[in-house]
Structure formats: structure tokens, C-alpha cells
Amino acid sequence: MTNVALTVNGVRHEADVEPRLLLVYYLRETLGLKGTNVGCDTSSCGACTILVDGQSVKSCTLLTAQADGSDVTTIEGLAADGELHPVQQAFHEQHALQCGYCTPGFVMATVSLLQENPSPSEEEIRHGLEGNLCRCTGYHNIVRAVEAAARAGA
Amino acid sequence: MIPAAFEYARAGSVEEAIELLGRDEDAKVLAGGHSLIPALKLRIARPSVLVDIGRLEGLSYVREDGDVVAIGALTRHAALVRDPVLAARCPLIAHAAELVGDPQVRHLGTIGGSLAHADPASDLGAVALVLDGELVARGPNGERTIPMTEFFTGPFTNALGPQELLTEIRVPTVERGVYLKYQRSVRDWATVGVAAAVVDGRVQVGLASMGATPLRASAVEEALAGGASPADAAARAGDGTEPPADVNASSEYRAHLARVLVRRALEQL
């Protein structure tokens, strides 16, 4: 076992974990934060995307031990005081989801993208979301939502 | 998918990492983890101990060192993409780094991890070869420099000793360079990748996914040095290679892609 201490959505957690425990399972099964989905489990689909120290990463390809000392944000940590985060609001308004399974990952990837590039072109949005798959192929509305979120200053 | 059990040790310094690697012959180095963790999950890799160097201070940098650009082994791909020294002194590396994986992968993957993993399809492997770079490795007997052309020894194997840690990548100032790759989707490995650069006035060409390791396209380089046109030189891109056949491409198709991509790269150079 290895001891880790990390902050998840503003709350500090400390635990003894198996070294092989992937962060996504720590979040989902230990902390009960099931908004982060496991899709492909091979770092391809991006459904498990979260922020670690502000940057998008795939939590199925990160050991919990590697995240020791980090500041983690999951989809549950985005809304503040009952108000949707501007990216969540934009996904809602632009209907940027069909089945919704990929949505938490796309939202987190978008938050990271807009921090790096606050007003991306359509091409930059598509390039910037290459790490996420929507098997309903709902990409057009996702791109519209990212544009709307950028306009809203997300 | 759950990795097989292993022990985990986080190194606080390069010296400690070297010492930890010496404790067990099946120990493996963990940097960004974006090649190793997928292999652990598939249980292709089953190390006894993971020595995590991901948080080591002082191994993430890009700086000018005389005529050379020195890159710390733990520099993340995303940092390479936006680095001002690389933009001015060796833009080929920044450009190729932007084609590695996807944004999430680039946030964690490191240049040293990518090279040490020694994937025959490595984008940065082909680039480092074409730049005639050098690698700095530290082990129990101190530091040594390994020419990039001697680093890859076979598929997923390299010239590092079991207790040696790759610490720095050194490349010359190279203003003109191109990296082109063909892939079925962004998350696939390069079906074929081609790097071309003008190094010390000489055109050098590297190939990814055309053999057991990233390669130099020696036949193309010799043809160019002998005065051949880019199109004639590119026709020799498959000479001396043994391209693999897999679900993405046959050997013949890879050789065809190499000829086309080398011609395009030379025309763009």
C-alpha cells in the first residue's frame, strides 16, 4: 500500500491505496464520484477526462499514487453554488449531447482547452478535442457549445 | 483492465532513482506513464517495482547550451509545443510533439519517456534521430553521452543499462525541419512517419514505423548527397527497411507511404 493525499473538488482526502489503483477507480469507487465515466479503458476515448492541477488528463491512465499531492477536479466539482459552469451551461443550451456518456469527459477537456486558448477557431476546437470520442457522433453541437462557452468567457 | 500488482517507489532525486533501480532487476522507470501504464493494464509489462520519477525537480526544461538545445527528459509534450527556445532554435521538435497522441496525452507524456520506450513507431524517435541528437544518461558509474544513432537497439529496447536513467536530450540548432505522418486516426501510432531536416548543411531523413526501430533513411540521404532530385531520392525511401505488416498496413503499403511522405517532406523542406 502507498499513502496518498490529494485534493478532489476542493476537499482533501488521504488514503492508503494499492499502487496499481488507477485514479478513475479511486474517484468512482472510493470517493463515489461516478460522474467520471470509464469508456474504452485504453486512453483512447477520453470519457474519463478530469483535471489534474488544471490540465486535462485521462484518469484511466494515471495511477492514484502519481496524483499524490495534486489538485483534482472532476465534473462534480465544476458547478459552484448550484450554478452550472459556463461550459456545462453551453453544452446544455447547444444540446451538445445525445446519449451523454462522453459528456463529462468532453466538458472537462473543454475547460482545459479554453484555459489554454480562450478563443479557439473551429479548427482549433476540433484539434483540441481530439482526445475525446462521441460514439453518437454529436460533434457539430459539441463544437457549437465550445464556441458558445468561449464567447461567454468560460 | 487492472495491472498486475507491483510495488511503487517515488524517487526524490536522480541518485535515489538509480539506487532504487538497483534493488530489483525487474524494476521499471515510470515518467508520464503514457506508454507504460497501457502496457501494465494489458499485462504486457509486469515489473516488480515502479520507480516513479515523474515529480523529480529539475528535469523539465528547454535551454540553450552554446550551439546546442538541451531538453530535460521529463519535459512534457505540451511544454515542448509552446516552448520559445524550441520555436527559435529547433521548431521541428515542437511541431512533432504537437502530433503526439492527443491533448490529454501531451499533458502527461514526456520526451524522455517517449524515447526510452523505443517504440518503432515513435514520432519523436524519428525526429531525434534525424537531428543527430545525443542523450545524456546517468547511472551508478556517473554520466555518459549516447549518440542518438546508437540508442535504439531493437523494438522497445535501448542502449540504457538497467540502472541508467535518461536525463537530457541534446540537439543542434536546426532551423529547417519537417515531420509528416500518416495515421488512421489521431490516437493511432504512425502508420508511417517521416522526419526531414537540414543539419549542418546536409539533408537528413528519418522514418518511424518502417522497421524494428525508428530509422535513418540512409539510401535517401546518400542519393541527395550525390545530387539526386527530391523525387528520385524519395523513390529509395524503402531501401534497406523491413516495414512491418499489421492491421493498419501491409509492408508494401508502408513502403509506398514512405516514398510519398519522403518526397513531400523534401519538397516542403
CB contact under 8 Å between B104 and A46, yes or no, is yes
CB contact under 8 Å between A42 and B40, yes or no, is no
pLDDT above 90 for B187: no
pLDDT above 80 for B196: yes
Q: Looking at the structure, do residues A68 and A90 belong to the same domain, yes or no?
A: no
Residue range B100-120: mean pLDDT, rounded: 97
B1 pLDDT band (50/70/90 cuts)? confident
Of A42, A56, A129, nearest to B107 by CB-CB distance is: A56
What is this model's ipTM?
A: 0.96
Q: Looking at the structure, do residues A6 and A71 belong to the same domain, yes or no?
A: yes
- Which has the minimum average pLDDT: A84-88, B183-187, B188-192? B183-187
Place of cell 523534401: B266
**Class in CATH terms, B62-172:** alpha beta
Q: Looking at the structure, do residues A44 and A97 belong to the same domain, yes or no?
A: no
Residues of B in contact with A18 (CB under 8 A): 5
pLDDT digits (tens, 9 = 90+) for A98-151: 999 999 999 999 999 999 999 999 999 999 999 999 999 999 999 999 999 999
Q: Looking at the structure, do residues A67 and A90 belong to the same domain, yes or no?
A: no
Q: How far is A130 from chain B (nearest CA, A)?
A: 6
B33 interface with A at CB cutoff 8 Å: yes
Q: Looking at the structure, do residues A90 and A72 belong to the same domain, yes or no?
A: no
B44 pLDDT band (50/70/90 cuts)? very high
- Chain B residue with the nearest C-alpha to that of A106: B104
What pLDDT is attached to residue A154?
75
Per-position DSSP letters for chain A, written without gaps between them = -EEEEEEETTEEEEEEE-TT-BHHHIIIIIS--TTSPPSSSSSSS-TTEEEETTEEEEGGGSBGGGGTT-EEE-GGGT-BTTBPPHHHHHHHHTT--SS-TTHHHHHHHHHHHHHH-SS--HHHHHHHTTT---TT--HHHHHHHHHHHHHTT-
Residue range B12-17: mean pLDDT, rounded: 97
Residue range B204-212: mean pLDDT, rounded: 98
Which domain-ending residue is among A57, A77, A97? Answer: A77
pLDDT digits (tens, 9 = 90+) for B59-85: 999 999 999 999 999 999 999 999 999
pLDDT above 80 for A14: yes
pLDDT above 90 for B188: no
What pLDDT is attached to residue B256?
98
Q: Looking at the structure, do residues A63 and A93 belong to the same domain, yes or no?
A: no
What pLDDT is attached to residue B237?
98
Residue extent(s) of CATH 3.30.43.10 domains in chain B: 7-52
Q: Looking at the structure, do residues A57 and A103 belong to the same domain, yes or no?
A: no
B195 pLDDT band (50/70/90 cuts)? very high
**Class in CATH terms, B7-52:** alpha beta
Residue range B255-259: mean pLDDT, rounded: 98
CB contact under 8 Å between A63 and B101, yes or no, is no
pLDDT above 90 for B186: no
Q: Between β-strands A71-73 and A49-52, what pairing exists: parallel, antiparallel or unpaired? A: antiparallel
CB contact under 8 Å between B30 and A66, yes or no, is yes
Name the nearest CA neighbour of B187 among B2, B34, B83, B33. B34
Tally of domains within chain A? 2
Q: Looking at the structure, do residues A71 and A113 belong to the same domain, yes or no?
A: no
What pLDDT is attached to residue A9?
98
Q: Give Cα B212 to chain centroid, integer Å.
A: 14
Residue extent(s) of CATH 3.30.465.10 domains in chain B: 62-172
Residues of B in contact with A46 (CB under 8 A): 102, 104
- Chain A residue with the nearest C-alpha to that of B46: A20
pLDDT above 90 for B227: yes
Q: Looking at the structure, do residues A95 and A127 belong to the same domain, yes or no?
A: yes
Residues of A in contact with B5 (CB under 8 A): 18-20
What pLDDT is attached to residue B259?
98
**Class in CATH terms, B177-268:** alpha beta
What pLDDT is attached to residue B123?
97
Residue range B217-225: mean pLDDT, rounded: 98
Residue range A32-49: mean pLDDT, rounded: 96
- Containing structural domain, residue A24: 2-77
CB contact under 8 Å between B40 and A20, yes or no, is yes
Instruction: Find the CATH number of the domain harbouring A22.
Output: 3.10.20.30
B163 pLDDT band (50/70/90 cuts)? very high
Q: Looking at the structure, do residues A36 and A73 belong to the same domain, yes or no?
A: yes
Instruction: Find the CATH number of the domain harbouring A98.
Output: 1.10.150.120
In chain A, residues 80-119 whose CB comes closer than 8 Å to chain B: 109, 112-113
Residue extent(s) of CATH 3.30.390.50 domains in chain B: 177-268
